Amino acid sequence: MRYVVPLAAVAVWLFADLATADAPTVAIQLFQFAPSPVAVEAGARVTWTNRDDIEHTVTAGEPDRRTGRFDLRLPGPGASESVTFTERGVYPYFCDRHRSMRGEIRVN
């Protein structure tokens, strides 16, 4: 009986670890992307969820060097969008409304 809680905790931790490897989630909160950078395997689907009360975007590249790979609009709290990354590489992104907001996805 004394081992029930620790084993359950390990199971939850393992599940969480696998979940983040396959489908990590990036929160947008207080004008920050967190976590960032995020490392994933090719084929992973990354989801961004807006936790702020205003609109943010997830726009591929940098403000003066957009790649056009994705440009997500997250209009308000709870808004959520995903991108599947099939090719290895480093993918910086930013918010087009608050250009000091930067993030990065690294696909292995």
97 binds Cu ion (CB under 5 A): yes
98 binds Cu ion (CB under 5 A): yes
Q: By C-beta, is 28 or 107 nearer to Cu ion?
A: 28
| CB of 53 vs Cu ion, minimal distance in Å | 11
Q: By C-beta, is 26 or 95 nearer to Cu ion?
A: 95
What residues pair up with 21 in beta bridges, in sequence order?
none
In the shown chain, the binding pattern of residues 13 to 52 toward Cu ion, with x for contact by CB under 5 A and - for none, equals ----------------------------------------
Binding residue for Cu ion, selected from 40, 56, 59, 72, defined by CB under 5 A:
56
Residues near Cu ion, by CB under 5 A: 56, 95, 97-98
